[in-house]
Copies of this chain bind each other. A is one copy, B any other.
Amino acid sequence: MSEAAQNAEIISVGTELLLGEILNSNAQFLAQELAGLGISHYYQTVVGDNVRRLQKAIAIACERSSLLIFTGGLGPTPDDLTTATLADFFNTPLIERPEVLQDIAEKLTRRGRSMALSNRKQALLPEGAAILPNPTGTAPGVIWQPQAGLTILTFPGVPSEMKAMWQQTAVPYLRSQGWSQGAIYSRTLRFWGIGESTLAEKASAQIQLKNPTVAPYAGKGEVRLRISTKAATESEALRLIAPVEQQLRDIGGLDCFGADDDTLAAVVGDRLKTSQQTVSVAESCTGGGLGSLLTAIPGSSAYFWGGIISYDNRVKINLLGVDADVLVQQGAVSAEVACQMAVGVRDRLGTTWGLSVTGIAGPDGGTETKPVGLVYIGLASPDSVESFQYQFGTFRGRETVRELSAYTALDLLRRKLILSIATP
């Protein structure tokens, strides 16, 4: 198969994936890494802990891909079948590796435990396969070329172990073997406050380009445009991508909040840090989610001082100074309460900005006039306060309403920071 020349395939092994009990975050991580290395990758397969079906998946993958990356099925329990099934498929005996056995014993000792029979199984690897060391867990993987033109890498399913093994051993190995030649470079522009089809139509000229390509896609509230090109060097790629990026930024205007790994929280944080300003939050329906987003950014203590989670009205009154009469007359989910919460937290914490959220996340608590999904966001600047009303959807679920509330609050502050700094 000509397609198999230099293509990777990710094969995730685990019945828990087929039962939907876990998200396949390993495949996402590996896909990002392969793209970064410029290794083409056209298929992903998920298969359960079943010898016969795993063998079928191996047979199909061998036909179309030359680098097979397995995750899962290396553990000590009886349903961990990946290593034995691979060895059997390629008619290769399993050999117990004393160095692996010793490593497992030492790790278990350090955790105050002794070697179990089930751990011993993890030292059995196919003859001729190199060990792919696992620095943190007990199960090592393999780097194995069972036949010409076919490389197999195996990893445990535990994401932290898989990632450490990938970065420490697999990446240097793949580079040394010439896998990473002429990488795919991409730049993803990120937008908030504009729908996918609106943006796609504004950017239709760019979306029709052949090199670089521009592809839109929509996440929860966010829309992205990915500009991609395959190039021999990064500077060549940048030369192709840069003018298209500029066009798309002009098209997006204020709705474009960043690129690649930028998050709303990071972008807001950068602006606050640069201008030596600070922010605090007062959260009702988000219950801490807004603070959690802000503090996900390393170094956020430079501009985020903290906040008050005022879930109960008594906390709104006692800790934020919200007027009890206003709570009764307007209700906790109201423009006035959002404003008082934002001002209250700004003044009590002594920050430049105060950002508040109050809303009805559901599924219960909605009324005719205040349905589920109704959210007010308050934004107190040093000398004024504004509120913003949103309807995030009655049937979109509690988590979505809470997430959209928190991100939208960050976006409001972002726009305010841009405009307040831009205008003298």
Binding site for B on A (CB under 8 A): 14-25, 27-35, 41-50, 53, 56-57, 60, 64, 75-79, 111, 113, 116, 118-119, 138, 157-160, 164, 184, 186, 188, 195-198, 200-201, 204, 207-208, 215-220, 224, 226, 228, 281, 283, 285-292, 294-296, 298-301, 304-312, 314-315, 318-319, 348-350, 362-364, 395-396, 398-400, 402
Contact = CB atoms under 8 A, between A and B. Distances in A.
Nearest to A139: B197
B79 A215 contact: yes
9 contacts: A16-B226, A18-B42, A19-B31, A20-B28, A42-B53, A281-B309, A288-B288, A306-B309, A306-B311
A30 B204 CA distance: 32
Contacts of A198: 113
Nearest to A157: B217
Contact of A312 (B201, B208, B305, B399): B305
Q: Give the top 7 A-B pairs by smallest Cβ distance, nearest first.
A: A287-B295, A288-B291, A288-B288, A20-B31, A20-B32, A44-B46, A306-B315
A77 B300 CA distance: 38
B398 A186 contact: no
A16 B217 contact: yes
Interface of chain A, main secondary structure: mixed
Nearest to A43: B47
A125 B218 CA distance: 23
A182 to B, nearest CB: 16
Contact of A287 (B25, B31, B292, B400): B292
A19 B292 contact: no
B138 A197 contact: yes
Nearest to A8: B18
Contact of A60 (B15, B60, B111, B219): B60
A179 B178 CA distance: 48
B295 A311 contact: yes
A144 to B, nearest CB: 23
A319 B184 CA distance: 51
Given A16-B215, A46-B44, A60-B60, A24 B21 contact: no
A220 to B, nearest CB: 8
Contacts of A25: 23
A309 B311 contact: no
Given A44-B46, A77-B216, A295-B309, 16 more contacts: A15-B215, A17-B44, A20-B27, A20-B35, A42-B50, A43-B53, A75-B197, A138-B197, A281-B309, A287-B300, A289-B291, A296-B402, A298-B362, A304-B311, A306-B311, A308-B319
B15 A20 contact: no
Contacts of A218: 158
A408 to B, nearest CB: 16
A364 B295 CA distance: 13
A39 to B, nearest CB: 11
Contacts of A363: 298
A197 B292 CA distance: 32
A229 B126 CA distance: 33
A304 to B, nearest CB: 6
Which of A42, A57, A395 has the most CB atoms of chain B within a 10 A radius of its CB?
Answer: A42
A371 to B, nearest CB: 16
A305 B296 contact: no
A118 B197 contact: yes
B304 A315 contact: no
A199 B41 CA distance: 37
B309 A76 contact: no
Contacts of A186: 19
Given A35-B19, A219-B22, A292 B301 contact: no
A111 B195 CA distance: 11
Nearest to A79: B215
A201 B111 CA distance: 15
A418 B111 CA distance: 28
